């Protein structure tokens, strides 16, 4: 069996069905694929169905691809069964390197030759994870952002043993499958998006630990401040505009010395019991008694509205948000 073209993929196997794997399953269903899922955890099938049911109304609002159907999801009793007829495999098991090495080796042994396999890892290098595989050339990182069924970005990068053809294939497949693929040329711990949000997260923890800001103040400062601009332009183009007619050149020349000011503390603060309790209680206060499932629905409704808005504006910035589905 050879490698199918990205456009001819029909069956996607999802291995690991937690928040990320389940989100991938919902996305692939929305895009019109058959999805075969497997997770050995107790109650995994029930949790996956609940996740997809919860996501489906938002996906219907966003738009289903031709042939998309909730009932094209099947839960397999074993990993081998899940991948046996797959045209593509998305692995989303827990973030433990030794476990990743084992499960990718198991996927390698059971998946038909030529089928590309992607890992949703949020920080591990594929070079390390593919070390137990007999055909490591077909393994890539396909790192999404939560929830994968709504956030378009996926970061794609191979390991030292990954073939260029497999990276090309994965990059093309994700685009066909309705994602915005950010192809990376080099392995980078945490990739791009996680490194940026981790820097912000560390500074947020410092401010809470030092009593400089509360949890709700931190969230409001981003949700009603730079987060609104970042949704369209990102941090670099945002600062380009901050330079006025002189753009980024003026921004760097004029404000460059401020970079030496000790505004930020990139080393993470100690996660003391007190800091942990402050973060937990702060988030619970913000949630106002609403359970996570309700907050997820509110988030999804907002993201659908935002994605539809971005679709109208993105073309002006030379960007095209994905849509439709595979043929």
pLDDT digits (tens, 9 = 90+) for 312-323: 887 666 666 666
Give the range among 2-11, 178-187, 260-269 with minimum mean pLDDT. Answer: 260-269
CA 129 → CA 121, 220, 245, distances in Å?
Answer: 10, 38, 47
Same domain? For 53 and 179 the reply is: yes
Q: Identify whether 305 is part of a domain.
A: no
Note the pLDDT of residue 321.
61
3-class secondary-structure state, position 89: strand
Structural domain span for residue 84: 6-183
Residue 257 has a pLDDT of 82
Same domain, 179 and 199: no
Note the pLDDT of residue 327. 45
Residues 237 and 129 occupy one common structural domain: no
In a domain, residue 168? The reply is: yes
Q: Note whether 216 and 241 are same-domain residues.
A: yes
pTM above 0.85, yes or no: yes
Residues 85 and 200 in one domain: no
Task: Report the number of distinct structural domains present in the chain.
Answer: 2
Same domain? For 32 and 76 the reply is yes
Q: Which two tokens stand for residue 283?
A: 């988030």
pLDDT of 16: 98
> What whole-number distance in Å separates Cα of residue 69 and Cα of residue 29?
6
pLDDT band at 261 (very low <50, low <70, confident <90, very high): confident
The answer on 70 and 145 residing in a single domain is yes
For residue 7, what pLDDT is reported? 97
Q: Are residues 214 and 92 in the same domain?
A: no
Does residue 133 lie in a domain region? yes
Does the pLDDT of residue 1 top 60, yes or no?
no
- What average pLDDT does the structure give for the chain? 92
Are 120 and 267 in a shared domain? no
Are 48 and 37 a contacting pair, CB within 8 Å? yes
Both tokens assigned to 180: 């915005």
68 and 147 in one domain?
yes
């Amino acid at each position: 069996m050879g490698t199918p073209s990205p456009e001819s993929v029909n069956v996607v196997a999802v291995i690991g069905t937690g928040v990320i794997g389940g989100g991938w399953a919902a996305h692939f269903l929305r895009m019109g694929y058959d999805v075969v899922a497997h997770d050995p955890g107790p109650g995994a099938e029930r949790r996956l169905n609940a996740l997809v049911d919860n996501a489906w109304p938002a996906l219907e609002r966003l738009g289903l691809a031709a042939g998309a159907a909730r009932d094209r999801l099947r839960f397999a009793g074993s990993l081998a069964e899940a991948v046996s007829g797959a045209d593509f495999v998305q692995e989303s098991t827990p973030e433990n390197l030794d476990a990743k090495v084992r499960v990718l080796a198991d996927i390698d042994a059971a998946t038909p030759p030529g089928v590309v396999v992607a890992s949703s890892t949020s920080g591990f290098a594929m070079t390390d994870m593919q070390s137990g595989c007999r055909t490591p050339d077909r393994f890539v990182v396909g790192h999404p952002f939560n929830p994968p069924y709504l956030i378009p970005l996926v970061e794609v990068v191979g390991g030292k043993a990954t073939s260029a053809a497999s990276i090309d294939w994965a990059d093309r497949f994700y685009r066909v499958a309705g994602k915005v693929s950010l192809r990376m040329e080099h392995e980078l711990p945490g990739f791009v998006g996680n490194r940026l949000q981790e820097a912000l997260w560390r500074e947020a923890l410092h401010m809470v630990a030092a009593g400089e800001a509360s949890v709700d103040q931190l969230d409001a400062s981003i949700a009603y401040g730079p987060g609104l601009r970042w949704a369209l332009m990102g941090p670099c183009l945002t600062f380009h505009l901050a330079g006025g007619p002189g753009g980024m050149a003026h921004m760097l020349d004029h404000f460059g010395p401020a970079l030496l000011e000790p505004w930020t503390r990139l080393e993470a603060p100690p996660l003391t019991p007190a800091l942990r309790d402050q973060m937990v209680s702060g988030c619970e206060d913000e949630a106002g008694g609403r359970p996570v499932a309700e907050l997820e629905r509110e988030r999804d409704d907002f993201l659908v509205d935002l994605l539809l808005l971005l679709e109208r504006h993105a073309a002006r910035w030379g960007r095209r948000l994905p849509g439709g589905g595979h043929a």
